[in-house]
Structure 1
Amino acid sequence: MDVRQLRCFVAVAEELHFGRAATRLHVAQPAVSQTVKAIEKQLGLVLLDRSQRRVRLTEAGALFLTESRAVLARLDDALAAMARFREAESGTFHIGVAAALPPDLVPRLVTRVRDRHPELAVSVHPLPTRPEVAELFDTGLDLVLVREPVRRGPRIDGRVVAREPIGVAVPRAHPLAAAESITAAQLDGHPLAGFARDADPEIHDEVFGALRAAGYTGPGVLHGAHSGAVDASLRLVATGGALSLKLASEVRTFGHSDVVWRPLADVRIEVTVTAAWCPDRMRGTRAEVLRLLPRVR
């Protein structure tokens, strides 16, 4: 017995009229009659009482209608689930991205996804400063990249995908450019170009607190900008107007021929990027995206 036969019987049982059932199914009436007879023969039961020019369900027919409806409803649920899965496989993968990440991280990931899974579109969304990671997935995001540790649990999983030390972007003609590395104290009195404290107080205090602990006493002038204004601050460095605390990847990506990068000699300040996701959403192609994330020891 197949699904077509079940749908035919349900139509007759609900209409209690072979002609109306045939119209509903868009088939000829004799085909409907033959289908019902074939079902009755297979079951060895009379499902419809056709006497006195009317159609009525027998007790067996009423029971079979209930069971047929349950089977068809379960099938419809399965088809709907597969449709949702198919949509997820070929839909859009939404990534939330915090400010001031290593600049090549997101483009590299998007390129990998596009090359391996061209059926999956990728949409990148900026995140607010210091977001509540658990709440981000209620907005439809599939993956988030943030600059803070993520508390893993039953609903959220994650791992570190990038770790890079902060150094100093220096004008090529500046005396400090001749050094292999720069101490925190050597930054004293030099103008600095960087993001303003109110853009992200926690990261700002972490960075400058570590510098002060290593002997730094403060800049001559602090040229403030929002935390994503890497290009603007490096242009200022290129003119000789300031130094800037930067990642080497930022200088490579946005740098100028008149800018060089030097590591800090006596303090290590790292930018650590964590990817987080909801495990129950990562099925099919979405789970494959996780395998494309960079791995950091």
Structure 2
Amino acid sequence: MAFTLEQLRGFVAVADELHFGRAAARLKMTQPPLSRQIQKLERAVGAQLLERDNRRVTLTAAGEVFLTEARRLLALADTAPEVARRVSSGSSGIVRIGFTAASTYGILGGLLNDLARELPDVDVDLAEMVTREQVAGLLDEEIDLGLARPPFDAESFGSRLLHREPMLVAARTGHRLLELGRPVTAADIGAEPVVMHSPTRARYFYDLVVGVVPVASENAVHVVSQVLTMLWLVAAGRGIAFVPASAARLPIEGVGFVRLATPVPEPVELHLLWARQSRNPALRRVLEVLERHTVSA
């Protein structure tokens, strides 16, 4: 047999007042139906919750324990509709964000701070993923929002340009390229050993670089997917690397940076990306907050 919220409220009122008459008055009802509520509750629970006689009412040991749970259940019942409304409106809930490692260099932190300030009841779960993993995660509903590199399927995804930046050449301190006093061109690279982006794990940067600086296969001394790994290899003197300008925020000793001359001054793009079929109401609110972070295309 199940008990009702009205029975719980009746029990809590009697436990607070330790008097059926005062409890009934508090609940704006008469004493007989309140007594029947308590009897039905005790039958449903299968234990005596109150000791009562003509002089006083006291809680049994079972009643003391049940009172704590009754208060918790009533609190949940009172707050559940508001929680449901907040989730439905998107003012609370969970948004799972996938991000590329390079997007953490100055972009992700500020974005999370703004979300925490303007949507404090929306929890954010983070997952580091390359763009192709984010695309799969969005389609499989493993994440709600990506910070990813183009291009994207416009039919499946909504996207918004979040950030644009130049490409830099990273070289060991004292390298001749750092002393040119101007942006580096393809002609300046020559036969320099290069720590290159992976054509599979970092396809966006790979395509961007080879479109500007044709790198001969024999000059690619290492092929990696993460910018931080590139910079450590540059610091070790293994070669130069081509990295987004935000990577210069990383304080890697022994590494300097110079701008790479590119046809488009700021060719590196980072986009917000989401599945058009997403049913997460909190995602809409997050996108509204992040609207002011986007740059003009």
Moved more, 180-189 or 133-142: 133-142
Distance 2:139 2:83 in 1: 22
Deviations 1:114-170 (A, max 9, x none): 2333322221113355247486154253321210133445x7432111122222012
Aligned to 2:175: 174
Q: Does 1:264 align with 2:260?
A: yes
- 3-state DSSP of counterpart to 1:237: helix
Deviations 1:153-205 (A, max 9, x none): 5x743211112222201222111111121111222221212333342446424
Q: 1:248 aligns with which of 230, 245, 250?
A: 245
Percent identity over paired residues? 26
Check 1:80–1:157 CA distance in 2 against 1; reply closer, same or farther (3 A cut): farther
Check 1:138–1:85 CA distance in 2 against 1; reply closer, same or farther (3 A cut): farther
Q: Does 1:124 align with 2:126?
A: yes
Distance 2:204 2:164 in 1: 18
Alignment RMSD, CA only? 3.6
Distance 2:99 2:152 in 1: 14
Check 1:281–1:217 CA distance in 2 against 1; reply closer, same or farther (3 A cut): same
Q: 1:199 aligns with which of 192, 195, 201?
A: 201
Check 1:152–1:202 CA distance in 2 against 1; reply closer, same or farther (3 A cut): closer
Check 1:233–1:131 CA distance in 2 against 1; reply closer, same or farther (3 A cut): closer
Aligned to 1:113: 115
Larger Rg: 1
Number of corresponding residues: 221
Query: Which aligned pairs between 1:1-297 and structure 2 lie closer than 5 A?
Result: 83-87=83-87, 88-101=90-103, 103-131=105-133, 133=135, 136=138, 138-152=140-154, 156-179=157-180, 180-201=182-203, 203-212=205-214, 217=216, 220-225=219-224, 227-228=225-226, 230-251=227-248, 253-265=249-261, 267-268=263-264, 270-277=267-274, 278=276, 281-282=280-281, 285-291=285-291, 293-297=293-297
Which consecutive unaligned segments of at least 5 residues does structure 2 have?
1-5, 7-28, 35-78
Distance 1:104 1:168 in 2: 19
Distance 2:139 2:30 in 1: 52
The amino acid that maps onto 1:273 is L
* 1:239 Cα deviation after fit: 3.6
Provide the TM-score with structure 1 as the length reference. 0.60
Check 1:159–1:202 CA distance in 2 against 1; reply closer, same or farther (3 A cut): closer
The amino acid that maps onto 2:100 is A
- 3-state DSSP of counterpart to 1:211: coil
Distance 2:262 2:131 in 1: 29
Distance 2:262 2:289 in 1: 38
